[in-house]
Amino acid sequence: MASSLDAGDAALAAFDADHTAVEGMLDDLGGRLRLRVLTRGAVPRSAWLRTEPHHEERLTPLRRERGPDERGWTSWVAEAPVATHEAVTRYAFRFVFGDHQAWLAADGLHPGDPDPQQHFRHVAGYAPAAWTWTQVVYQVFPDRFRNGDPTNDPQGGAWSVDGRPIVRRGWDELPTRGMGAREFFGGDLDGVREGLDHVADLGASTLYLNPIFASRSSHRYDTVDYGRVDPHLGGEPALERLLAELRRRDMRVVLDAVVNHTSDHHPWFDRAGVAEPPGAFADPGSPHRERYVFREPADPESYVGWAGVRSLPVLDFASGAVRRDVYGGDDAILRRWLRPPWRIDGWRLDVAHMLGEGEGAAANAEHLRAIRRAIREERPDAYVLGEHFFDATAWLQGDQEDGAMNYAGFLRPLLAFWAGVDFRGDPERCDGAELERRLTRVRARLPWPIALSQLNLLSSHDVPRFYTRVGGDRAAFLAAHHALFGYVGVPCVYYGDEIGLEGGEDPDNRRPFPWDEARWDARIHRTVRRLAHLRRRHPALARGRYRPLLARGDAHAFARVHEGSAVIIVTHRAGGRVVLPVGRSGVTGTWTDALSGEALRDDGERLTVDVERGGRTLVSDADVLGGLPPLD
């Protein structure tokens, strides 16, 4: 996980070290850790493992275990106690030479003691949703994927959203800015089921569905009834049919949990004054009043809405009733759908960082820990995924979430590198070195099993599609997909990205899926499909160690390494010849291009690769390519 690419002087450049918290390099012996680190190049005078029991430094000598081997690698080992004063055990490695020292932390080599925030991390007893590591996730916005049952389509004018009548759109129309929440295109869960042939053929194995519970808008982030699937999506029978078909195909599903806020038409809130008993808005004496925050008790309009949106009143987790009905009670929302007959595989927690007590996110961590416990009580391997646009590492230390939608640690760095903009669309400079630094900054602050569980994405229902962000530049778009399927974490394809569907700001990023294949970009589809299948098949891409190889100017390259095999991802904004130090991956020999089949031979240390503008994926074991979908 660490790299001499970060070294700024010749002394560090003459030394390399490698450690990732994978089995064999980290073994939890029950109260103690056995840790191994590999080095090559300059030979240290002494070597140490640094830990911090009780917040005080402890240096334990590293013992030379074996080596150097035929490639020059030496293995060192030491044992240390698991931290008892906090859940996370932090550690780093120190190597002393004649006139300098080198420290190895999760973000690479340092000439001196690195910030403890960058130390390696281990959480004793943490149980990851390890099944996610082998998955390719496909995100579906239900109203826009496929219409499987026109009889349940919403009819124009049948009700109002934000005081304006809903509109029924034709499938080939485009969403209209300012009307997104009240535009319906007719997609439903039977349509999702009908589209599974396409999803499976692509290589995806898990569905992430945007909200499916009863609501008044087309995005359904304004829940009216958490216990009922929206009838315009086909209701519970359609969900049962979809889940049965997913199980038949050995596929999984993650649902969207919107429990930070409700619709203002939810019976608990009852803006329309039709519920029995009356809701919090309709009656100050309502038993549901405690579920929401009112700044002025006598003024029903003083309630707090999510991000100021009046149709989305925020739930107050200081309320015992909210805690009971969301996660604490036997029939709580987050428990019910994990049980038979539904047995979903996980929850995506909408705006997870904002949930809490009162107007803000007070006691957020306390409630997310309780939510995790409740979910895992129902299903021990359930995936707990949080939505975070910014740094999510505080929520990813083993006690709250398994993974986050990796905007900060993947999408935003890739967007800056390939599109030259930040997520707001403003100019942002990012070369290969900065790309590596930004990827590493987030990855290094995560325990390794959690790094493997991050949901990496290029597009979603909340941001413009990546293809549009790069101005329809196919080479850039496909290069980003080489990174998506190669980088540490779980790749997620937003419906339509695989065929070149474009889309700007919400709601344009939620266009209906075009099922006429004549409208697809065939090259994009074939490339994404082949890379997705390779991702499912190659263990190095599921759990392999990360070894940066090149990060400079327009070029970026890294290797994923697992049990003697490796995959290299190399991308280049301008195109050109690069020389990759493959010896530092520990795997050398012949490398085969996963798309073209071209075979390249390294010299035992370096591999010369010609890269057209875009990206290449190279594998050390060509036999894994047999049976992958063809490119033509």
DSSP-assigned beta bridge partners for residue 116: none
Q: Compute the distance between CA of residue 202 and CA of residue 242 in angstroms, rounded to an integer.
A: 18
**3-class DSSP state of 392:** coil
In the structure encoding, which two tokens stand for residue 489, read together? Answer: 């974490």
Q: Which of 489, 386, 383 is nearest to 439 (CA)?
A: 489
Strand pairing class (590-593; 599-601): antiparallel
In the structure encoding, which two tokens stand for residue 264, read together? Answer: 């203002």
Cβ-in-10-Å burial (0-12, 13-18, 19+) of 241 comes to middle
Which residues have C-beta within 8 Å of that of residue 394, sequence separation ≥ 6? 365
Evaluated on CA atoms 427, 431, 433, 439, the torsion sign reads positive
Helix (H) or strand (E) holding 257: strand 252-257
DSSP character at residue 313: B
Residue 215 burial (CB count, 10 A): 25
Q: Is residue 322 a contact partner of residue 277, using CB atoms and an 8 Å limit?
A: no
In the structure encoding, which two tokens stand for residue 197, read together? Answer: 């042939």
**3-class DSSP state of 584:** helix
In the structure encoding, which two tokens stand for residue 499, read together? Answer: 């065929």
- For the chain, the first-to-last Cα distance in angstroms comes to 36
In the structure encoding, which two tokens stand for residue 479, read together? Answer: 């290069």
Strand pairing class (15-18; 120-123): unpaired
Q: Compute the distance between CA of residue 89 and CA of residue 76 in angstroms, rounded to an integer.
A: 19
Strand pairing class (63-66; 58-61): unpaired
Q: Is residue 33 a contact partner of residue 82, using CB atoms and an 8 Å limit?
A: yes
In the structure encoding, which two tokens stand for residue 435, read together? Answer: 């790309």
Q: Which of 558, 277, 249 is nearest to 432 (CA)?
A: 558
Instruction: Specify the residue for token string 């402890």.
Output: 58
DSSP character at residue 9: S
Q: Compute the distance between CA of residue 190 and CA of residue 536 in angstroms, rounded to an integer.
A: 26
- Note the Cα 81 to chain centre separation in Å: 31
Q: Which of 15, 3, 14 is nearest to 548 (CA)?
A: 3
In the structure encoding, which two tokens stand for residue 26, read together? Answer: 């980290």
How many contiguous H segments (helices) and E segments (strands) does the chain have? 14, 33
Residues annotated as catalytic (active site), given as ranges:
350, 387
